[in-house]
Amino acid sequence: MRQSGFSRWRFAATLSACVAAAPLHATGKFVWPDPVDSPAEIMPLAAQSLLLGVARTASGYVVVGGRGDILVSSDGAQWKQVEAPTRSTLTAVTAVDANVWAVGHDGVILHSADAGEHWQMQRKDPWQAPVGNAPSDPRQGAPLLGVLFTDAQHGFAVGAYSLALRTDDGGEHWQEITVAPQPKDDADAADADPSVAEASGSAGKSGGGKWTFNQSQLKIGEEPTPHFNAIARTGSGALFIVGERGAAFRSRDDGKTWQRLQLPYDGSMFGVIGFEAEHVLAFGLRGHVFESTDLGDHWTPVPTGTELSLMGGAALPDDGVAIVGANGIVLMRAKGGQALASRVDQSAGTIAEVLPLGDSGNLLLAGENGVSVYKPQ
């Protein structure tokens, strides 16, 4: 079974919430509503439930999360849940002035033109069983995990199995783009690498085939279609995507073409932050953080002092950064070149995302225990 590069704790928490919320039929059996087209329920404790994305709008803030929950606030302290057209889990959100986009499971993309007060479905692609002998497309129904808009018209969304989408009309139409080319079939792979034919052919033959492999055959190679976990833009206008197994992709021509890179760590990166020029910072599994000032040509490890996975991050002035993750960990530096200082917000649980709260120096946190304000000491 393929190892999933996107945050599995989000799935577990979401599943628990869905089981708790599933209504009982008169027969005593669970009745599962279609989450994609069922409107989210207005719940009194939504601000304390699973929330995965946060963005600043023209008039305040918006957070999104499990069961299609969307909440808005003018100050980051008082939150109001608003109606949403889906119960699919929402994983990320971004804003350009009053325009807001949220993405999530089932290929869902939502849009609001009034800073999050009202929402419309722009895209959905729930999984459907293939008809007859038609092959199944793993990207159908795949969750979208990151979203970025460069202005009110041009945007990108990325997700599992190298799913990447682009819009040039504010989300009215979304089209798939190729970032990681699809892998060749088994025959082509065997032609390119004889060991593939040796491993898959002779081992499967009756009368003599043995399930034995040499070291080169056992080596785990680059995942051809890695999950895309996040996308960011640098000051130069370059785009950068990070994903599982250390895979990264960059584009210097506004997403028309992409180049694959490999970070110096083979674990998944869950987030990436773009700074001025071609400065990027990636973070993820087991507390790994890497920084580059040339869009990934060279990487510098950033010591974190932790092996806790890091889920979300945000840029601060002067190349400062805030990074958050498992067990309430908060890593901060006031400016570039400084060491990361580690703190823990025990009340926050696992933190999925972080955002500076205005000019106060405080941080807005979203995670498994909802949304909260963190005040650095």
User: For the residues 259-278, what does the mean pLDDT come to?
Assistant: 97
Instruction: Specify if 28 maps to a domain.
Output: no
What would the pLDDT profile of 58-76 be if each residue is shown by its tens digit? 999 999 999 999 999 999 9
Give pairs for 116-121: CB < 8 Å, separation 24+. 116/57, 116/62, 116/70, 116/72, 116/82, 117/72, 117/82, 118/82, 118/83, 119/70, 119/82, 119/83, 119/84, 119/85, 120/85, 121/85, 121/86
Task: Tokens 């960011």: give the residue.
Answer: 232
The answer to whether residue 208 scores a pLDDT higher than 90 is no
Confidence band for 119, pLDDT divided at 50, 70 and 90: very high
Reference 368, options 312, 313, 328; nearest CA is: 328
Q: How far apart are alpha carbons 20 and 150 in whole angstroms? A: 38
The answer to whether residue 331 scores a pLDDT higher than 90 is yes
Q: Which residue has the higher pLDDT, 220 or 335?
A: 335
User: For the residues 160-184, what does the mean pLDDT come to?
Assistant: 93
Confidence band for 359, pLDDT divided at 50, 70 and 90: confident
The answer to whether residue 118 scores a pLDDT higher than 90 is yes
Instruction: Give pLDDT, residue 368.
Output: 96
Instruction: Specify if 254 maps to a domain.
Output: no
Instruction: Specify if 196 maps to a domain.
Output: yes
Instruction: Give pLDDT, residue 318.
Output: 94
Instruction: Give pLDDT, residue 286.
Output: 97
Q: How far apart are alpha carbons 53 and 280 in whole angstroms? A: 20
Q: Which domain holds residue 189?
A: 184-223
Reference 62, options 121, 124, 143, 118; nearest CA is: 118
The answer to whether residue 54 scores a pLDDT higher than 60 is yes
Instruction: Specify if 307 maps to a domain.
Output: no
Confidence band for 10, pLDDT divided at 50, 70 and 90: very low
Q: Are 29 and 23 in contact (CB under 8 A)?
A: no
Instruction: Specify if 203 maps to a domain.
Output: yes
Q: Which residue has the higher pLDDT, 185 or 155?
A: 155
Reference 270, options 342, 323, 333; nearest CA is: 323
Instruction: Give pLDDT, residue 139.
Output: 85
What would the pLDDT profile of 215-260 be if each residue is shown by its tens digit? 544 445 578 899 999 999 999 999 999 999 999 999 999 999 999 9
Domain count, the chain: 1
Instruction: Give pLDDT, residue 325.
Output: 98
Percent of the chain with pLDDT over 90: 73
For the ranges 240-244, 282-286, 334-338, which has the lowest average pLDDT? 334-338
Instruction: Give pLDDT, residue 97.
Output: 96
Mapped onto helix, strand or coil, the DSSP state of residue 355 is: strand
The answer to whether residue 28 scores a pLDDT higher than 90 is no
The answer to whether residue 327 scores a pLDDT higher than 80 is yes
Count helices and strands in the chain by DSSP H and E runs = 4, 27
Q: Which residue has the higher pLDDT, 20 or 352?
A: 352
Q: Which residue has the higher pLDDT, 247 or 4?
A: 247
Confidence band for 2, pLDDT divided at 50, 70 and 90: low
Instruction: Give pLDDT, residue 129.
Output: 85
What would the pLDDT profile of 182-207 be if each residue is shown by its tens digit? 766 544 444 444 443 343 333 333 34
Q: Which residue has the higher pLDDT, 68 or 135?
A: 68
The rounded mean pLDDT for the chain is 86
Q: Are 313 and 322 in contact (CB under 8 A)?
A: yes
The angle subtended at Cα 121 by Cα 61 and Cα 99, nearest 5°, is: 35
Instruction: Specify if 31 maps to a domain.
Output: no
pTM value is: 0.85
Q: Are 288 and 272 in contact (CB under 8 A)?
A: no
Distance of CA 198 to the CA centre of its chain: 37
Instruction: Specify if 351 maps to a domain.
Output: no
Reference 328, options 346, 302, 354; nearest CA is: 346
199 sits in which H/E element:
helix 194-201
Q: How far apart are alpha carbons 349 and 367 in whole angstroms? A: 7
User: For the residues 80-109, what does the mean pLDDT come to?
Assistant: 98
The angle subtended at Cα 305 by Cα 8 and Cα 76, nearest 5°, is: 60
Instruction: Give pLDDT, residue 191.
Output: 41
User: For the residues 331-342, what does the mean pLDDT come to?
Assistant: 95
Cross-strand partners of 70: 64
Instruction: Specify if 79 maps to a domain.
Output: no
